[in-house]
Amino acid sequence: MIIIQLKGGLGNQMFQYALYKELQHRGREVKIDDVNGFENDELRVPVLHRFGIEYDRATQEEVVALTDSKMDIFSRIRRKLTGRKTFRIDENEGIFNPQILEVENAYLVGYWQSEKYFSSPEVVAQIQEVFGKRPQEIMHDSVSWSTLQQIECSESVSIHVRRTDYLDAEHIKVHNLCSEQYYKNAIQKIRQVHPNAVFFIFSDDNEWCKNHFKGPHFINVELQEGENTDVSDMILMSKCKHHIMANSSFSWWSAWLNDNPDKMIIAPEKWINNKNMDDIYTERMTKVAI
């Protein structure tokens, strides 16, 4: 059996689910642990149900069995004498590890942020269908529909600006913050090819964006907060014809779900500070200094 630990925000959970579907396609018995990855995370919860997704849930007993973590006295003594006989595999680097697709028994802890983890055409089609929701299935407010109409009727470009949690002292050690200059350079690259581009800004820091992106070709998207707001944001971003990403899995999926064959995708050339993340980039992405 293989158990994938679900953790992180929406985009990260989407990557974990994509690996789940790939392993299923390869004939493995796979389940998802959607409990232990959130025990010490006060900000995040399992959210895949917002896409209408169901999956096989691992029991705590199954997790304990794969990780050799029984707490009875005999098990603790045995581990002290012979060591832990665990099948837990932690993702230590962000690069693609092909061995993950070959394991038979494992408790997988990581983000698995690469399309190489779900490369089978059948799985790609399944992922596109389940995450590429039709707007009417998710969006039920006038602002979302008005924004969608503007996006479809223009040379639309999504700009994703992620700031709030990345400004935290602990996060900033790991996550680079995309600078104002990065966004200016990215906008310039888009305008060189599409001079009539209209930029739709999606952010957790709207005030910063309003102060730094000014003019008639910049539209700040501010949806009313609700349970499905993040999914609505992702759908709207994916409907844009081109993308300027943050170093965020949310950005990644928004661009990946866009089926425009002529799309431009601008991505920050350095993703995070503590891991090699070369395999998060797709062939369609153009890297720009952060």
What pLDDT is attached to residue 165? Answer: 63
pLDDT at 197 over 90: yes
Q: How far is C-alpha 35 from the geometric centre of its chain's CA atoms?
A: 19
Asked whether residue 150 falls in the same domain as residue 238, the answer is yes
Pick the residue with more confidence: 222 or 141?
Answer: 222
Asked whether residue 114 falls in the same domain as residue 213, the answer is no
Element (H, E) at 285: strand 285-288
pLDDT at 66 over 80: yes
Number of structural domains the chain divides into:
2
Mean pLDDT score of the chain, rounded to an integer? 91
- Give the domain range for residue 210: 135-288
What pLDDT is attached to residue 75? Answer: 55
Indicate the residue among 111, 128, 145 that finishes a domain: 128
Q: Name the percent of the chain lying above pLDDT 70.
A: 91
pLDDT at 97 over 90: yes
Indicate the residue among 66, 94, 128 that finishes a domain: 128
Look up the CATH number of the domain holding residue 218. 3.40.50
Helix %, strand %, coil % of the chain (to 5): 45, 15, 40
What pLDDT is attached to residue 246? Answer: 96
Asked whether residue 153 falls in the same domain as residue 265, the answer is yes
Asked whether residue 71 falls in the same domain as residue 25, the answer is yes
pLDDT at 89 over 70: yes
pLDDT tens profile 129-164: 999 877 778 888 889 999 999 999 999 999 999 887
Interaxial angle between packed helices 229-239 and 10-25, expressed in degrees from 0 to 180 and rounded to the nearest 10: 80
Indicate the residue among 69, 96, 128 that finishes a domain: 128
The type of residue at 156 is S
Asked whether residue 274 falls in the same domain as residue 145, the answer is yes
Cα 12 to Cα 30: distance, rounded to the nearest angstrom = 18
Asked whether residue 141 falls in the same domain as residue 283, the answer is yes
